[in-house]
A and B are shown apart, each in its own frame.
Chain A
Amino acid sequence: MQFLKDAKYTLHVAFHPFDGFWDLKYENKGKLRIALAILFGVTVMMILKRQYAGYVVNYNYPLDLNSIDELKYIVLPFLLWCVANWSLTTLMDGEGKFKEIVIATGYAMLPLILIYLPNILLSNVITLREASFYFLLESVATLWFVWLLFIGTMTVHQYTVMKTIMTMLLTVVVMGIIIFLGLLFFSLIQQIVSFVYTIYQELSLRA
């Protein structure tokens, strides 16, 4: 019953974002597990979309589909966004805690589920001529999600409009920096490992 109530509240956030995100932060109505459930839901929805979207709009090569890849396209960007946003806003007088950022981002993704599900069903009965409706709905879902993310960020950190936009853009830059550092780190580790292994080989062959 509690879960149903929470689920209903996510709808409230999606349709009344100002009010919804405020209560999320100050009335403690946001639940981490609900945010993660939405994240999981979006991932599943993406997998379903790639596999079951109508042939007319589905340009995926069936042999290239891999559900694990969705971790790369959904879960990783989500975590990166949260970490990047948190690192940035702690320096920029943001009021949000990490948990609040995760919750707000998670709740903001709800429109993706809300629109993708009927859209997948719709795509199976539309023709090429009506395909633009499908793509229109997809864009609506994305815009709605960005809108919610914007309100969420603004509310959680108590920012002005301009500062929110700046922060969001900077967050994307920081995400890039994190990826760069990550790759650098991995490459260095690889070098070290191969270096140690070479020494070991050298010694073992000489001994």
Chain B
Amino acid sequence: MISTAQELHPTPVLEPGRTILELRGLEKRYPGTHALKPVDLAFKSGEIHAIVGENGAGKSTLIKLLTGVMPRTSGEIAWEGQPAALATPHEAMALGINAVHQEVVLCRHLTVAANMFLGEENSRFGILQQRAMVRQAQTIIDDLGFDLPAHVTLGDLTIGQQQLIAAARATVRGTKFLIFDEPTAYLTRKEADQLFTLIRRLKDEGVTIIYISHRMEEVFELADRVSVLRDGTLVGTRNIAETNDAELVKMMINRSIEQVYHKEHFTPGAAIIEARSLSGKGFENVSMTVRAGEIVGLYGLIGAGRSEFVTTLYGRHRKSAGQILWEGKEVQVNSEHDAIKLGMALAPESRRDQGLCLNLPVGFNLNLPIYKRISNNLLISSTQEKTQADRQIADLRIKTPTRGALASSLSGGNQQKIVIGKWLAHGAKLFIFDEPTVGVDVGTKAEIYRLFGALLSKGAGIILISSYLPEVYELADTLHVFRRGKLVATHGFHAASHEDILTQALAEKQEKLGGQI
């Protein structure tokens, strides 16, 4: 899992790039929190500068200050030597500062071309030159090496493809300073490679890149320098050649990396669920068993059929052939309701869209699956509602002022703990986690993995879906590899190498992999 990026990608010679943006004592206070303690940092033109840190370490705050989304409390920002107010997003863009966010913020109903030129449309006598714009957009996209059509509706593309468009969009606007916030969270490896090519090219053109990621190997693959934030403090900045991920993780969390993938082995018990030659929309002829006390990992690219398979188990989609056996008996799962009644729980992939009621309180979200249990036929027991929520918050160590705080006010990692935690009180037997640690920092990851252990010790079984190979590799007792809707390989714990598993998942173009995962 430890990357060897230094050998594979010789660290680019740092150009004697001039300082383009300098922060002097930059500071941000919210009522009650000191989100960013005075930071001094200088960014050079033509460098890729990674910023790492746990959720809540101050990365988002820093980005918001740099892009003019929020005003700073104190400190100075100098742009090309001149003091800059950076009070509005407009001012930041006028200087050439742009950001590509983790969640795509574009218009899904418009075409790719319309999105690329949004706000800077090409028009003649007030009439949009649509064909010309599609042509220009297509030229840009082809030029960047993305194999995507410019005339289709953005929403028809995958999230990963949309992310590439968002990146392409930022490059055509005279950008001098470009911030990527977790850009690869939803990308396949191939898409990520395309994005990296784009990023390196921008660097060669002298653009400063800020790259924020939780994935250490990406940081080592791309960055020239890396800065670490912890609890709003800049812990340090390193040249990438002079550090390693053990040091960075230590700086980030004050904890060693071995403690992250916390794996407990239990003797598997009876089968909880079994799929026999199950087929449905997006996958066919898949057979597997999940037993009590084991983690079954599903690995594959996005669109390989993993998510479709589990949503069919969960009753979201109808199976077209095959059988589902629950504790040895054949069952029909026609709805999520049926699945939950049997004892399944699903923590979905996208916590914003599927996992949380963001504008409702934390306690409400935690209790949602169990309201039936904590109410009699008519009324909810407010004592139980209170104690259940408080117990979950304490057990899961959710950082929230009270159970009444809105879910939207919590950091991503803590939101994810709610998505997972709400099923603990429910007492399910089979837990399905679909990409449980996307956009979650190392410390929270470790806590989530520890939760897995707690569930297994209580006799539950877990299906873990992940596009992040180290995660399934280190945690799964049985690892199934999906490719194009089929289950192509099955391995025991650590029974195959990363390379073999990747090859099985891709089975085509291997030259781009370059030993990186």
A binds B: no
Residues of chain B touching chain A, judged by Cβ–Cβ distance below 8 Å, are: none
Residues of chain A touching chain B, judged by Cβ–Cβ distance below 8 Å, are: none
